[in-house]
Amino acid sequence: MVALSRKAKLIIQGTLLAIILVFLVVVAALANTGIYTNYYPKYSPPDPKDSIHIAPDGSITAPTTYNETVPIQRNGDKYTLTGDITLTVIVDRSNIVVDGCGFSVATKFQPGQGGPGFGLKVLGVSNVTVENIKSPVGLELEQSTNCTVQNSDGAPAVYLYKSNGNVISNCVGSLQLSYASNNKIENCSVHGSLFGLDLENSNSNYILYCTCTSPGRPVALGDSSNNVLFGNVFPDAWWWINMWGSCTNNYFVANNVTISQHYGSDSIVGTNYIYHNNFLQWNWNQSATDNSANVWSQNGRGNYYGGYAQVDANHDGVIDVPFTIDRNNVDNYPLVEPVNTAAEPIPSPVQ
């Protein structure tokens, strides 16, 4: 075996380092342009041969190649699953209830590989309730309004596309909103290897009391404004918030955040409100960039930063030394003790 000279070793090490740096730059660029948020299909038309339909007239149709009895029982406007379904279920009828009874809807397609791409697709309807259903390839509301998805497992994602005025509650999976506004998401268990809560071109949504365990990027907003994230728990956040494009008047209030790595928010454009949160392990190297100044307090009270021990001479519960986030962002009223988030009111953004 030929021994490498010291110079050759240095050249190899330098080349490897350069490759790693280029890779990290590309990953960061993809994250900030929102490419990752487009992983799930948006415009995939239902394929009759791959789907079971709850049709506009209320009938249940299956492809001719489907040789099994369709395990959906209809009783008026309620459709109840009586077993697992291997194909995608398309809901084309308004004013109904689909009860999964704990069974799974799936598809032979994987997310991002064409076809319907989701286990269940609520398509262009209103006033539909989906409950107690599972899908290993996700659930989607597309161009649907005033619908409810509850007590369901949509991992890897519950996805809303051009869908407004809906409620997602007690669900599992990452939550993806694209061109979706005035929705309420509450009491969900959010997880994903890269992202958890992801909003693109989505405004005036309320995300309440969720637990997000995504180790990569728990919260991402792109060109989204007037949203409220309140009372959520982020137990292990590598990159807590990532915002890009025009993001303004978003409220981050009464959240419990454990920061385990280095980053907070990046590429913020506009003024957003971040106050009365508990940052239990503050370890950010840099938070906001792009010369955006956010509001870090309300009524003379800011956020709690774990490990930030300074003087409170008048014992008013506010540390006398401001907490600097970066050159444009300062919390002038850092708190001595953690916030009692249960006593906080939910804010209403002025639009």
Q: What angle do CA 145, 149, 153 make, to 5 degrees?
A: 145
CA distance 341 to 345: 9
Residues 263 and 286: beta-carbon distance below 8 Å: yes
Which residue range is the domain that position 142 belongs to? 36-343
Pick the more confident residue, 319 or 24.
319
How many domains are there within the chain? 1
CA distance 109 to 131: 23
**Could you tell me if residue 52 is inside a domain?**
yes
| Model pTM score | 0.84
Q: E-assigned strands of 72-227?
A: 72-75, 78-81, 88-91, 97-99, 120-123, 129-131, 139-142, 148-150, 153-161, 167-169, 172-178, 184-186, 189-190, 195-200, 206-208, 211-212, 217-222
Residues 91 and 110: beta-carbon distance below 8 Å: no
Q: What are phi and psi of 278, to 5 degrees?
A: -110, 110
**Could you tell me if residue 112 is inside a domain?**
yes
Pick the more confident residue, 117 or 313.
313
pLDDT at 320 (0 to 100) = 96
**Could you tell me if residue 294 is inside a domain?**
yes
Q: Mind listing the pLDDT tens digit for each residue in 167-192?
A: 999 999 999 999 999 999 999 999 87
Pick the more confident residue, 106 or 37.
106
In terms of Cα–Cα distance, which of 331, 311, 312 is closest to 322?
Answer: 331
CA distance 221 to 219: 7
For residue 116, the one-letter residue type is P
Classify residue 41 as left (phi > 0), alpha (psi -120 to 50) or beta.
beta
Residue 313: which CATH number? 2.160.20
**Could you tell me if residue 19 is inside a domain?**
no
Evaluate if residue 236 carries a pLDDT over 80. Answer: no
- Mean pLDDT across 264-282: 80
The bridge status of strand 304-305 relative to strand 278-281 is parallel
In terms of C-beta density within 10 A (0-12 exposed, 13-18 middle, 19 or more buried), how is residue 168 classed?
buried
Pick the more confident residue, 11 or 34.
11
**Could you tell me if residue 26 is inside a domain?**
no
Task: Report CA Rg, the chain.
Answer: 23
3-class state of residue 318 by DSSP = strand
pLDDT at 340 (0 to 100) = 97
Q: Mind listing the pLDDT tens digit for each residue in 316-331?
A: 999 999 998 878 889 9
The highest-confidence range among 21-25, 26-30, 219-223, 290-294, by mean pLDDT, is 219-223
pLDDT at 157 (0 to 100) = 86
